[in-house]
Each structure stands twice: as C-alpha cells, then as structure tokens.
Amino acid sequence: MQYIDDDTYPPGNFGDLAVCIEHKGNGRQMMERFSGEAKIEREYEKAQKREDVEWVVLKTGPQKGKVSPVVWIARCEGGTVWHDVIATDGARQEYDWFEPTAEFKERWEDRTRK
C-alpha cells in the first residue's frame, strides 16, 4: 500500500482502480491498486476486515451508533485526479467530500444484488 499525502493521490492512468483505507493508529490514508472490477470488489471486501483499518462510530442516519470501517474505492480519471466511487458508511462520515458517480454506483448496486 502507498500513502495518500494531504488528500493528493499519486499519479495514475485513466481507469485505474484502488482500494483506499484510513490506517488505524496514524490516521493516514493509504491506497493499493488492483486490476479489474471483480478483483477490486474482492479486495474492497477484504479491506473492511483488516486489523489495521480505522473504525468509526456512525453519528447519524439509520445506522447511528453502529461502527463502520473507513474504506473506499477510487478510480483514476488521469494523472492525480481520482474520484471516489464506492465507500463504507464510515468513510462517507469521515470524508464528507465523498460522492460516488451515478454510473459506478448503479453498476455496483446491480452486482451486489446478484
């Protein structure tokens, strides 16, 4: 995994996908790139169970009071421009800038219903 410094992602190629976490202990954001949507989905699920991932108590919404890991998937649009496309409730709470693209969210929801 590599660190994301000051919310600035490292350079990538258009379409690159990465699983990102907030590291427990030092609070730094980290990312690891993977090829293919099937692989990224498996790694996203695995990351939510890692011992070094930060967990937060949800403050609002229907899950208020429950805990959630701070994990998300980012997709590169070219260079250092990455968009966060899917995230756990914990990541959405910790980073209010998170807004998945409608296209990716729809594809993700279709996949997880199967």
Higher-confidence position of 38 and 7 = 38
Q: How many domains does the chain have?
A: 1
- What global pTM score does this model have? 0.81
Q: What is the pLDDT of residues 58-110, one digit of tens each?
A: 888 888 888 899 999 999 999 999 988 898 988 888 875 445 556 655 665 65
73: containing domain: 2-113
pLDDT at residue 23 in the model: 92
Beta bridge partners, 21, equal 30, 71
What is the model's pLDDT at position 29? 92
- What pLDDT sits at residue 95? 72
Q: How many angstroms separate the CA atoms of 14 and 77, rounded?
A: 5
More confident residue, 111 or 13: 13
Mean pLDDT, the chain, whole residue set: 84
Q: Where are the beta strands (DSSP E) in 1-114?
A: 2-4, 17-22, 29-34, 55-57, 67-69, 71-78, 81-87
- In this structure, the number of other CB atoms found within 10 A of the CB of residue 89 comes to 18
Measured torsion, CA atoms of residues 30, 35, 40, 46, in degrees rounded to the nearest 10: -70
The band of 6, judged by pLDDT with boundaries at 50, 70 and 90, is confident
Residue 54: CA count within 13 A, CB half-sphere: 23
